[in-house]
A and B are shown apart, each in its own frame.
Chain A
Amino acid sequence: MKPDVLVIGDSHAAPLAWGCEALGLKVEHISFSGRNWHEGNIIPHDDHGIWVKKRRWAQKIFTDLMEQLGVSNLANTGMPVLGSFGYHMGRLVPPFGWNDHVSPAEDEPFPENHLHASSAFVSDYVHLYRNPHFRLARNFARGSRLALIAPPPAFSRPNYKAFRLEITRRLMAEGAAVYDPEEDFIDPETGVMRPELLAGDNIHGNEEYGRQLVSKLIERGYFERP
């Protein structure tokens, strides 16, 4: 049976899949940890939409799905795709701060005695490590109804906001619709996500977050319920 929605991404894709299932949708879900995405082995592919280098077991998951759907290009199915790829900030942002650099977002203060990095530098840095993901977003945005979802704002750490905004900007420039849960899930008192929506690791959203998230995506028109 043809699925209602494809969910593709990193570990933040799990709540998306759970949320779709909770709303009675049939989901095909493929996810790899952010480390696999960050290492640059999951790349855009002209013929198949997406390809995994060096990890045959991972590519087989995509190949099997294409066979199951009867398509040769996973980015060109015409189906709705919910994605959580392109960010993977747990691998990108911490090394940026190794030498104590901070690139504050416009509304953030700059902490004294840190090294300042400009927004232009962040833009080039993000491009360097995420350009294949942006091209992948372009592939999917051209051939499917793609909505990408930024990671839940689970914590407040230096540089995360600036990187998040820059990646969102770049993904949107590639034609992807991007939903940032900051719009609806921030607790105004703490500036981060409400704890009851977080998994025990305090990084990922839980099943209830997934349900609310997908409902919000439908409500805001990022995703049309079949």
Chain B
Amino acid sequence: MSSDNPYKDLPGTGFWRTGVAEAGLFGLEELWRSKWQLPVDARFSTYGSCFAQHISRALVGRGISWVDAEPAPGRTPAALSRKFNYGIYSSRTGNIYTAAQLLHWVTLALTPGWVDLVELWEDGERVRDSLRPLVEPLGFASQDEARKSLRSNALAFRRSIEQADVFVFTLGLTEGWENAETQQPYPLCPGTSAGVFDPGRHLFRNYTYPEIYEDLTEALSLMWTINPDLKVLLTVSPVPLTATASGDHVLVATTYSKATLRAVAGDLARNFDTVDYFPSYEIIASHPSRATFFEPNMRTVAQAGVDYVMGHFFNGIDLGGPARGHADETEDRRAKIEQQMAEEDLVCEEMTLEAFNEA
């Protein structure tokens, strides 16, 4: 006869048999319950590795307030917005795969003058900035234009921190590349999609748990100087590495990468009340899903998987708090511009008629 013990009163979700084996993949419940009650009009900023863009889209699709601090210019059709990477993340940073990259962006947000130190790459007659090498389909017309755009992006990134209630960040990789002199991280290895690889300048890094924990802690601390009320929701991308430069088999490297990121995210969530962890990685990539949600290449997550992840996300989030009310100046500005255009239209109509005045 067993005596009282800590397992005796656990809910069914605490046991593998009832929580997973008998529940089945589509019967999983209570995988995540948000730490916080958020206002009904809570605003979310989203960044991270490529999986993060699904979170942006799902929030918008649900009508949940998503911070778009760097929207496309007015009357830009969706296809043109996508071509220039507007509306993917809360500003036009492109993918942020590593904690080091996030820390770099936060640093730029606080000291935008440092964009002058960001490495630029010549691409024929065009220029690419090494933090966002693919943000412009053809690159920039000049170094000056690249820096102006980057500075504008850094300020928009800052606004996306200021304006958000929750900053959702999807950790993607432990592996990355850095400039040997400046330690500037790159989102892509120079020479793969843009830039020229220089083994003397471009260093491979496979960031360790302590380095990632430290970079993230520093990034979050700096973000809280911008917005002291900001809550941070971490996730780990279930998308495996495309390739590894570690020398290990890519499957082994992927497991190292995801395990490390998962551990860092979990510990940060445990150590900070304002940090939470959402288990998108587990839902898609753990063995009870039997790779159901991966396309045949065992890497790309199928839309059904994204929908399933986001279903758990929306089940677990608590938007039951009172509305904060957010002022939106955009509509006022649009209305004023529309009015000015209508007035000028009238002037133009009069001018075309006046042309026929022979008096």
Contacts and interface: CB of A to CB of B under 8 A. Distances in A.
A164 interface: no
A90 B152 contact: no
A226 interface: no
Contact of B330 (A10, A98, A120): A98
Interface string A55-95: 00000000000000000000000000000000000110011
Given A94-B340, A96-B75, A121-B73, A13 B355 contact: yes
A156 interface: no
Contacts, number: 118
B180 interface: no
Size category of the B interface is: 35 or more
DSSP majority for the B interface?
helix
A149 interface: no
Given A114-B152, A115-B152, A14 B355 contact: yes
A120 B135 CA distance: 12
Interface in A26-78: 29, 31-35
Interface in B132-166: 136-138, 140-142, 145, 148-149, 151-153, 155-156
Interface stretch (A99-107, A137-145, A167-175, A187-195): A99-107
A115 B70 CA distance: 7
Interface in B74-101: 74-77, 80, 83-84
Given A14-B351, A14-B354, A124-B83, A95 B75 contact: yes
Interface residues of A, number: 42
Contacts of A100: 333
Contacts of B355: 13-14, 17-18, 29, 31
A204 B80 contact: no
Given A98-B334, A115-B152, A121-B136, 17 more contacts: A10-B348, A11-B349, A12-B351, A13-B352, A90-B341, A94-B337, A95-B74, A95-B75, A96-B74, A99-B330, A115-B156, A120-B138, A120-B141, A125-B76, A125-B80, A128-B77, A199-B351
Interface of A: 10-14, 17-18, 29, 31-35, 90-91, 94-101, 104, 106, 110, 113-121, 124-125, 128, 199, 201, 203-204
